[in-house]
Structure 1
Amino acid sequence: MRLSLLVLSACLLLGLAYFLLWPSLDIEQLDKRGRSALSRAAESGDVVQLKQLLAQGAQVNQRDLCQWTPLLHAALNGRTEVIHYLLKHGAAVNAVDKGGYSALMLAASNNHVQSIVYLEAKGADLNLQDDSMGWTALIWAVKQGHQDAMTALFALEADASLTDHESKTVYDWIRAGSLEPE
């Protein structure tokens, strides 16, 4: 009994109790929003659970009802360490949701500079445009007023001459007052 408690305590410390208590857990079971356990771990930044799910064969590119992958959830929340593990296990770096939004766009629109730099280093397309407005990650950063993200994207040589669906460039948006100090 004492050894069992010791093992359970050790597992709790390692974040593994979830899997010990429910060994028949369906790792691909979806919640009401169609999110897998891997997407929820990516969103919350739970690296321990994420590693366990990946080790058990969770589908790294599984999409939820909005066509979001775990990588998109991680990027939205600036979970760079999670992004690293997802990409290491085959996540599609340029996957987009049903609106055409990429992980890089989500990171840029939320000023997650470390995630922006990491995604670009792993092959994220700096100049991908979303479907609804034709905005790039750079335009998203400007529209949200994120100077740090904008500076990082300029340094990474994002194309500032691309036009959106209104035929505006990032410079047009800056002149229009979209970039306000944070």
Structure 2
Amino acid sequence: MSIMKNIMKPGDNHRKGTEASKITVITLLILLCLWVSYYYHFVLHSDILVTHFFYLPVVFAGFWWGRRSIWIAVFLGGYLLALHSFFVAGISVIVDAQRVVILITVAIVVSALREEGLRTERTLRESESKYRDLFENANDLIQSVDAEGKFIYVNKKWLETLGYTEQEVSNMTFTDILRKD
């Protein structure tokens, strides 16, 4: 059993590469947020807070990782409050606290939307599989044709009963199987 866990599945390298890319993107976006905040406060000596950039890593992480994006929102919110507490005097701490609450709320909403989307997708896949199995193994002849009469789908029983192959049916229309008399 433990040996099987160590054997890589065919898509594992791709998943690991994709995950590494996501981590890289989120890290770069967080660093961009930190740098922009630093630049505005310490280089430009501005009281303007550029928190709109803070939503980028939170939203991307929410789509990619769900609830784990809340930790990114908490980190960026903590950074924002720390920046305010130590370096920014012109903005009320209440305004920054509201920004932090909104940032965390966005993370929660995006992760909830992602989870709902995944749940819906899973339900759809299960339903499709169930109905595909039902049609494929039915004892009745089942077919589906488009507006021009070209076959979209025929089940196994249809092929067996009428003696056609899938290849033949893919080039036929409904009128091709009708008797001429």
| Fold in common (TM above 0.5) | no
Q: Which has the larger radius of gyration?
A: 2
TM-score, normalising length: structure 1: 0.25
TM-score (norm 2): 0.25
Higher helix proportion, which one? Answer: 2
